[in-house]
């Protein structure tokens, strides 16, 4: 499927409440904005929730940085970010955050004659590519990992996000953990100063660039890989095993997360231990104000995510996301009860 068809399909999934069909958005619809990483599953949940309840979700897939900005500016009912905010930043802004879904970020390439999942890469090699130090596809570092693949003597074209992005945070957080030079030169964040490459807006933009330009490498959420039948690479994980992305390897990465012990659920799942663990796994987070000026809208947002927690696991699995474990969703609901109130100080959940 082409990226244009993917985007079209996602617009259809969100239906009348999509930001792309703004004329059909109803005043009572919930509004959210932020991460493109979870957009396919939020779209799928929104369509099912609309059919089940009649209530719509207008979610803008604009990137984590823009989502954080919009919730802080109070222009949406919730923000969404793949980079969790630290407890002190949440407190300063009067926000809470909670994890809604987990998934994996995947390196993708556009090279003729190479099947999906056959190329092997390591974090060190990817860091070298994004630092501009490894510039050819037949570089010795890549050939050593792929002796059975005929690699072309062509330039590598790097593709990265151009917008403030939680995907970029996960990508750079991982590369900073496995490569000291990357950490000191580029570092981690939703937006960094890239020494090389082309920028694409959203997961959609990066996927489109990789699909249309030969010799490229980029990073996108796994749902975009599956929808577009993109060529992805295996990655060597912290335990030294080459693994493929997918539901099982994402679950393996998340298995050791101790959500109850971290203020604000500030957990990053990159470079986790475990023989089957996918090294660039992450959660996507929802941001809401502790004091809800419109308690009806705030309550409806909570109803939506409560419904998704209870009914959305199979839909998440279809797109190779990982639903939050029931123990975690119970913690999240306890947070809702304790923290979210209306302007009179009354609980809204």
Range of weakest confidence among 5-19, 39-53, 115-129, 252-266? 5-19
Strand partners, 215: none
Residue 22: the pLDDT is: 34
pLDDT digits (tens, 9 = 90+) for 50-77: 999 999 999 999 999 999 999 999 999 9
All structural domains of the chain: 3-103+263-267+281-342 (3.40.190.10), 105-255 (3.40.190.10)
pLDDT greater than 70 at residue 20: no
pLDDT digits (tens, 9 = 90+) for 292-324: 999 999 999 999 999 999 999 999 999 989 999
pLDDT greater than 80 at residue 11: no
pLDDT greater than 60 at residue 103: yes
pLDDT greater than 90 at residue 21: no
Residue 256: the pLDDT is: 87
Q: Which two tokens stand for residue 60?
A: 């803008």
Q: How far apart are CA 105 and CA 90, in angstroms?
A: 25
Q: Are 233 and 109 in contact (CB under 8 A)?
A: yes
Pairing of strands 242-243, 234-236: antiparallel
pLDDT greater than 60 at residue 45: yes
pLDDT digits (tens, 9 = 90+) for 217-243: 999 999 999 999 999 999 999 999 999
pLDDT greater than 70 at residue 14: no
Sheet of strand 120-121: strand arrangement: 120-121, 234-236, 242-243
pLDDT digits (tens, 9 = 90+) for 161-184: 999 999 999 999 999 999 999 999
Closest CA to 42 of 75, 72, 74, 78: 78
Phi-psi region of 63 (alpha: psi -120 to 50; beta: other; left: phi over 0): left
Residue 15: the pLDDT is: 34
pLDDT digits (tens, 9 = 90+) for 148-166: 999 999 999 999 999 999 9
Phi-psi region of 74 (alpha: psi -120 to 50; beta: other; left: phi over 0): left
Q: Average pLDDT for residues 8-20, to the nearest whole number?
A: 35
């Amino acid at each position: 499927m082409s990226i244009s068809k993917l985007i079209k399909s996602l617009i259809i999934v969100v239906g009348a409440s999509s930001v792309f069909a703004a004329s059909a958005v109803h005043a009572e619809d919930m509004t959210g904005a932020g991460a493109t990483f979870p957009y396919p599953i939020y779209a799928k949940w929104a369509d099912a929730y609309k059919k089940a309840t009649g209530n719509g979700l207008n979610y803008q897939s604009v990137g984590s940085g823009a989502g954080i900005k919009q919730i802080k500016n109070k222009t949406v009912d919730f923000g969404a970010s793949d980079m969790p905010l630290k407890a002190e930043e949440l407190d300063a802004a009067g926000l809470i955050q909670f994890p809604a879904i987990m998934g994996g970020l995947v390196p993708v390439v556009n090279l003729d004659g190479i099947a999906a999942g056959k190329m092997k890469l390591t974090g060190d090699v990817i860091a070298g590519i994004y630092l501009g130090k490894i510039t050819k596809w037949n570089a010795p570092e890549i050939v050593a990992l792929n002796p059975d693949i005929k690699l072309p003597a062509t330039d590598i074209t790097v593709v990265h996000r151009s917008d403030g992005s939680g995907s970029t945070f996960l990508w750079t957080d991982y590369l900073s953990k496995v490569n000291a030079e990357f950490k000191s030169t580029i570092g981690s964040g939703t937006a960094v100063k890239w020494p090389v490459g082309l920028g694409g807006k959203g997961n959609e933009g990066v996927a489109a660039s990789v699909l249309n330009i030969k010799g490229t490498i980029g990073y996108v959420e796994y749902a975009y890989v599956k929808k577009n039948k993109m060529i992805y690479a295996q990655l060597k994980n912290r335990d030294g095993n080459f693994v493929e992305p997918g539901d099982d390897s994402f679950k393996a990465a998340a298995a050791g997360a101790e959500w109850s012990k971290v203020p604000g659920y500030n957990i990053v799942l990159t470079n986790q231990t475990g023989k089957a663990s996918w090294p660039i796994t992450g959660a996507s987070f929802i941001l809401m104000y502790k004091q809800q000026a419109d308690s009806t809208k705030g309550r409806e947002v909570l109803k939506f995510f409560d419904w998704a927690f209870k009914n959305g696991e199979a839909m998440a699995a279809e797109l190779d996301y990982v639903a939050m474990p029931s123990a975690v969703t119970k913690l999240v609901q306890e947070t809702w009860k304790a923290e979210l109130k209306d302007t009179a100080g009354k609980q809204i959940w």
